[in-house]
Amino acid sequence: MVELGRHIEEARNLPYVKAGIDLKGRSIFLLPFYDTDVNEWFAFFETEPGRFQRVALVDIDRGAYLASVALDEACDLCLPLHDLVFQRMSFPKMGNPIMGLEDAVENACSVLEFYRIVSELYAEGHPGASQLAQSLVSQLFVVSRSLYDSLQMVCRVIATYFRRLDDTSKPLMKKLPTSFAEVALRHAEPRTADEISTRYDMPPPLAKLYGIQAPFLASVKRIRDKVIHRGHHVGFALNLDEGLAVRTTDPPWDTFDIWEGAVLGENQLGSLRRLFAHVLLQSLAATTRFAEAVFSCIALPEPVSPGNHIYLRSPLNHYIMELEQAFDSPWERV
């Protein structure tokens, strides 16, 4: 055990790293580690390149940490892709992509907190609530695109480090563009998995993932581009006793097949919160399916820290954990 104030001379000697591991070119991400065997935090500060000093840590308020279990089930979120990158794909170029994923997840939580605030302002008759809701709906689609583009950043790094399983003399795939949409769509229309596989020489499981996500992404991109690049609004949010609503028969909301069970009356008003839950559920699920596709078609090295997982802590993470409940019971004031 490393005592407080003591140094270790190499990252592979950190207490959470598997002894004798063959890193195969990977880095070791420096994270707070909670050892459940001794119920103690281990945190290290790099005092000079390759040299680390243990510092005192009582707890963390927000950010990533490593442990065998979630220490606070209400606030600590484990994303399969986040965990897979830390354990098996922690290459030097992966730092920025994984921080991009963390930022996108935090922004998704923030959007849902802002939704709660805006809905309350509407209920109180705040004169600016309508304008705030309009901006918030726009931000929803920006966050969704950022989640997909964080996947693209991860995929581009993977493509530079791995070879094909069927022919190790070949790269995993051709160089990818920076946008997920540019791979999945052609002139804003979805590409098939076969088209994607042929165009980028992409392994079938990954090409299938892109193809499955393409129709949803096309809808998100169409709305986002109108709002961000052309200055259009996305339709007014209406204030009902039950919560905020949109007209489900009006574009662009009529393109989403999510309104059954969440529509009120002859005016076909649907829960805006259901729309938020749907968009974020789909976007976050894409990160998990991406991790599954990567695991199925790439010979990954051994995990850096077997038995442990990376968790992302935030006081707003409960919104993500409650998304399915919000979709099934969408009216926020009922």
pLDDT of the residue at 14: 95
pLDDT of the residue at 170: 84
Q: Is the pLDDT of residue 232 over 70?
A: no
pLDDT of the residue at 233: 56
Dist. CA 123–CA 90, nearest whole Å: 47
Pick the closest to residue 109 from 314, 250, 289 (CA basis): 314
pLDDT tens track for 40-69: 999 999 999 889 999 999 999 999 999 999
Q: Are strands 51-55 and 7-8 parallel, antiparallel or unpaired?
A: antiparallel
User: How many helices and strands, by DSSP H and E, does the chain display?
Assistant: 9, 13
pLDDT of the residue at 235: 60
The most distant pair of C-alpha atoms in the chain lies apart, rounded to whole Å, by: 70
Sequence spans of domains, the chain: 92-302
- How many CB atoms neighbour CB 298 within 10 A? 20
Dihedral angle of Cα 151, 155, 156, 161, to the nearest 10 degrees: 150
In 277-287, which positions are buried (b, 16+ CB within 10 angstroms) versus exposed (e)?
A: bbbbbbbbebb
C-beta of residue 256 within 8 angstroms of C-beta of residue 274: no
Dist. CA 184–CA 187, nearest whole Å: 10
pLDDT of the residue at 99: 94
pLDDT of the residue at 230: 47
Q: Is the pLDDT of residue 314 over 70?
A: yes
Q: Is the pLDDT of residue 18 over 50?
A: yes
pLDDT of the residue at 306: 97
State mean pLDDT over 267-272: 91
- How many CB atoms neighbour CB 89 within 10 A? 23
Q: Is the pLDDT of residue 231 over 50?
A: no
The model's confidence at residue 168, banded by pLDDT at 50, 70 and 90, is: confident
Pick the closest to residue 277 from 324, 316, 241 (CA basis): 324
Q: Which two tokens stand for residue 166?
A: 């069927």
Lowest-confidence region among 97-111, 230-244, 263-277, 293-307: 230-244
Q: Is the peptide bond preceding residue 177 cis, with omega within 30 degrees of 0? A: no
C-beta of residue 218 within 8 angstroms of C-beta of residue 282: no
Spatial neighbors of 109 by CB under 8 A, at least 6 apart, are 314, 316, 317, 319, 320
pLDDT tens track for 25-40: 999 999 999 999 999 9
Q: Is the pLDDT of residue 21 over 90?
A: yes
Give the amino acid at 43: A
pLDDT of the residue at 46: 93
Tell which wins on pLDDT, 263 or 21: 21
Where are any strands of DSSP class E within the chain?
A: 7-8, 33-35, 40-48, 51-55, 63-67, 76-77, 185-186, 189-190, 238-239, 244-247, 263-264, 269-271, 309-313
pLDDT of the residue at 191: 96
In 133-172, which positions are buried (b, 16+ CB within 10 angstroms) versus exposed (e)?
A: bbebbbbbbebbbbbbbbbbbbbbbbbebbebeeeeeeeb
The model's confidence at residue 220, banded by pLDDT at 50, 70 and 90, is: confident
